[in-house]
Amino acid sequence: MATARGGGVGCLLVVVVAVACLSCAAARSPAARAHRHLKRLNKPAVKSIESPDGDIIDCVHISHQPAFDHPFLKNHTIQMRPNYHPDGLYDESKSAATSSNGAGEKPMVQLWHQGGRCPEDTIPIRRTKRDDLLRASSMRRYGKKRHPAPNPMSVDPNLLNEGGHQHAIAYVQGEKYYGAKATINVWAPKIEQPNEFSLSQLWILGGSFGEDLNSIEAGWQVSPDLYGDNNTRLFTYWTSDAYQATGCYNVLCAGFVQINSEIAMGASIFPISSYSGSQYDISIMIWKDPKEGNWWMQFGKDYVLGYWPSFLFSYLGDSASMIEWGGEVVNSQLDGVHTSTQMGSGHFPEEGFSKSSYFKNIQVVDSTNNLKAPKGVGTFTEQSNCYDVQNGNNADWGTYFYYGGPGRSSNCP
């Protein structure tokens, strides 16, 4: 009998251990890890709004946003407004985006606004879905770039199309820059492969193009891999170590502190430009608050969106050493041929207004906190027969450039 009882206890222990092992395995399963990751990304919502494009926008209390997952921000007092705006800011239109078709201004909104608005003291956050995580190469890399900023100083032919990325940009260097601004024409470029993207943005850069590069970025992008569709979306990005470990898109990690309840990072922009039709622009400015040292972002005239705390950066803790504006695409070279993914409108600069895409009124912020026209603007593209850039200057548009292209063609094999 004793032996029988001992055997029963032994069997029970085996069963308990087996159940425990199964529980551990379940906790480590991709589904369980995805569930935990979604809980970290999606904060409790005061209100949720369904967008016509299928997005869910969660209105999250301003003090519960992802920024405060950062250990340095645990007890951070939110700065609700910048101490200073750069002089010369308020000489443009009153809307976040405007029509340039000569028929007067048309207000730009984000598509989710058709479903409602977030209340005060909350911020709108695009909800991350399980499918978003599953499209990523790994959950750890979700929401992170895997490529460097364009380096116009690198003209080594062996480095052209390095990592599959191509650019058509304007840039300045040689001074200390405390911000930049641009009005950016908005399009919906066609993307050939789901792992490719097309974007138009400005870069605020500090340091070398080595492993210590600091970058703050903002603009619009079409990225099926990141968002699961081909919508044109407002985005931001930051890194303090050349995209290795720090930083992320939008508010997908701790860092950017959002204060605005009306504009959602990563949400669809609406409406967009059409070929030979109405043209729609967005205005973006990023600048360093001279008092607190934080880098602020503004969308249009009325929407101060938030800031990147100065402690996130090393070189940008002081100033930027280069500013870039322009377009970027991924060229995956499937089957050894150039992608047909479009940049900008998908048309070359020489086609001009309402056909080619543009940046206009590009400016930099100087050490006296003044917006001014940039000096010594250079241009750069790896393959001008695929994507090109042409700059100019006039009284109406200030410093501007047209850029973009169709990608693969008889001249871009």
pLDDT at 269: 96
Q: Which amino acid is at 74?
A: K
User: What is the DSSP secondary structure assignment for residue 129, as one 8-state letter?
Assistant: P
pLDDT at 97: 46
The active-site residue, picked from 192, 196, 324, 328, is 328
Looking at 243-358, list the stretches that DSSP marks H as alpha helix, in order from N- to C-terminal side: none
Residue with tokens 């209105």: 59
pLDDT at 288: 97
| CB neighbourhood size of 399 (10 A) | 23
> 271: cis peptide before it, omega within 30°?
yes
Burial 294-326 (b: 16+ CB within 10 A, else e): bbbbbbbbeebbbbbbeebbebbeebbbbbbbb
From edge to edge, which strands make up the β-sheet containing 198-206? 233-239, 214-222, 198-206, 320-330, 165-177, 378-381
Give the β-pairing of 303-308 and 281-288: unpaired
The active-site residue, picked from 192, 196, 217, 382, is 217
Please state, in angstroms and rounded to a whole number, the distance separating the CA atoms of residues 176 and 179: 9
CB 242 within 8 A of CB 148: yes
CB 236 within 8 A of CB 303: no
Q: Which amino acid is at 89?
A: L
pLDDT at 103: 39
Please state, in angstroms and rounded to a whole number, the distance separating the CA atoms of residues 15 and 154: 63
Active site residue 162: no
Active site residue 192: no
pLDDT at 5: 54
| CB neighbourhood size of 127 (10 A) | 18
Question: Domains of the chain by range and CATH?
Answer: 168-404 (2.60.120)
Q: Which amino acid is at 362?
A: I
Please state, in angstroms and rounded to a whole number, the distance separating the CA atoms of residues 230 and 281: 19
Q: What's the chain's length in residues?
A: 413
| CB neighbourhood size of 176 (10 A) | 12
pLDDT block averages, 10 residues each, the chain of length 413: 55 53 59 85 95 96 90 85 81 44 53 94 96 85 84 65 83 97 98 95 93 95 96 97 93 94 96 96 96 95 94 95 97 91 98 98 96 96 96 96 97 90
Does this model's pTM top 0.85? My answer is yes
